[in-house]
Structure 1
Amino acid sequence: MTQHDHPTPYRADADGFFGEFGGAALPPFLVEPIAEVAAAYATASQDPEFIDELQALLSKYVGRPSLLYFAENLTRELGGARVYLKREDLNHTGAHKINHCLGEALLAKRMGKTKLIAETGAGQHGVALATAAALVGLECEIHMGAIDVAKQHPNVVRMELLGATVVTVEEGGRSLKEAVDSAFAVYAGAPDEYFFAIGSVVGPHPYPSMVRDFQSVVGREARAQILEAEGRLPDVLVASVGGGSNAMGLFDAFLTDESVRIVGVEPGGEGLDGDRHAATMTLGTPGTLHGMRTRVLQGADGEPSPVHSIASGLDYPGVGPQHVHLAELGRAEYVSVSDAETLAAFRALSRIEGIIPALESSHALAHVMRLAPTLPADAVIVANLSGRGDKDVDYVAELIREG
């Protein structure tokens, strides 16, 4: 589980830098609280008792391992590579987010904190964190942009039913970036009480490595499962990238397998020629955001740009620093798909396989639908189906009605 399991050029150094990216760019009053998180995680990740408790919950509570499903109908429809889906949508709470939320909740309790606080976009991280808080007996406060509160109302209800306080953020673009800002401001006022449970592989060190480590169970399972199913490693891995936690969870176990092509898929929104997208890896430039040096969609003044995606969980103007590092090294490639392609993929998987995917996951599916027909029939693609689409059906129905 620890980042020191297999040191490679793809790992962060002791200060949390992946090459030039990452680190901990913090105001003075947050340096000590975040350093305490780093020290606590360094100890916990080597503690067999902590590891065993987390593994037991992943197995007996979340329902891991999740299935690696051969999408036979989709494969036949696309007429190319064999397509496998890592079914994180079948986890308790409906997405990959529960993997790291349980880890963060256990770490918070170990540190003596009484409250978990976090941001959420699509609501899946918020639901997962509220679930973990209820399980381990901590209070929970979730900050969510007003736009996302409206788009993802069922998840707001779920969080409240689980005992969480949901704070609606009306500032700025009223989406994920502002939710992070709002939650950080509250955390900064009472770090002794709160544990900030960042929902992706973003933020200051140790979060990009810590969240990746908690999510790495996805890739470890997928690696063993595809070897059993096909007798070899996949040719291509595909996952959606906003902050990038589901992608790093899948990619991590394959980073040293140079024969495996790794593709991250980000939101092209309404087109890359305007500002209605969140294609950070494609169009972002180096900058500092939320305590990390990474690529950022930003204006000439260095302020983060407004972003857009059909998927609330991907509309973020930054990205996890390890993704930037992988791109710089040429180990992973990053592409974008449009809102229209995403919606088409959402509808196609529902119709062809009887699986309703999250709009976030549908970005990965859209690229699979592009890629598979170009590959030979003996090629193998593994795509991360990071979440289920129950949360999106009302919003999608509205989009379909609007034409």
Structure 2
Amino acid sequence: MQIYKVGGAVRDRLLGKPVTDIDWVVVGATAEEMLAKGFRPVGADFPVFLHPKSGEEYALARTERKSGRGYGGFTFHASPEVTLEEDLIRRDLTINAMAEDDQQNLTDPYHGQRDLDDRILRHVSPAFAEDPLRVLRVARFAARYAELGFKVAHETLELMRQLSESGELEALTAERSWKEISRALMESQPQVFIQVLRDCGALKVLMPEIDALFGVPQPEVHHPEIDSGIHTLSVLEQAALHQQPLTVRWACLLHDLGKGLTPEEEWPRHIAHEHKGLKLIKAVNERFKAPKDCQELALLVGQYHTHGHRALELKASTLLELLQSFDVYRRPQRFEEFIVACEMDARGRKGLEQRSYPQADYLRGAASAARGVAVQPLLERGFKGPELGEALKRERLKALKAYKESASS
């Protein structure tokens, strides 16, 4: 029995990055031998065991063969005869197909260290094209390591293109897709994830609503970058630069989908794109079964981001409607995330990345003014039920009018 550290732990050590998760491969052992040493089995499809003390995962060396469609369409074979090289060849990228023993002696049969040095994301073998999930994984790695100068190898991008055209991507489950998408959006350069998907034709399969934005112009006076798709990538880039949470990044990605529906004869204007985009945002949310908080914020940002930009011009009654839509009294954090999504939208424009956004503090002040209206005095005056709600609304409107006057003076 020989035990090797494999995959990301080896890759990240060689890159000088922190190693978080460690995967181990065991060569020359049987499941019975693992159980005898106190390992606990966890793998339903193939033999994976938890270490009796550390709890880390140890997998028996295995080979795999394509047996059906999609990510799960494989049969696995694990036995003491499977070599380390045979186990490594089934992995996606050369930089993930390295192993080291307890003396840090490197086993690198597919030249992963060379590709690390050359900053290349390259597939290990033609079997790469058998697993559609790898299209998303490679795009995610491109987003993670873009800051180090990594690029996808031309021949790997071609395999990804073939996968995108094969119909295999449609076999991916919503859960697997969302896991990769959500992780990619939280990388340091998530816009690279979207761009790589577009480069290989996967974006028009997985998210045609986003793909449709590229080539659609916007008024240059507001959008020096002009192209709606490029703007979306820039907004996502700003969200990452400002270390926004997943909810905000998802909303930033989907906020302008309505512009993809504007007839060409109306370009570069996009009248009512906010409302038109809601059905598209809803469709993308449902396709990937995004978490409820991501779904809700994306829809609200899509509908109201123009209100955010025009905050200083809004009437007190419109401000109140906006605040009510977000339920700022019980869910203040959601409105805060809306504000920062609007700010990322304003900054995601060529040459305007450092612009100030006074609307943010103005909206925060408006929310504070509305929340400052006390309920107790109204109860003491005898208001209850629907009448109490109406009275509260009147008092909040009065507070917002006073706030507007003080802010403009």
TM-score by length of 2: 0.26
TM-score by length of 1: 0.26
Task: Indicate the structure with greater strand content.
Answer: 1
Of the two, which has the highest radius of gyration? Answer: 2
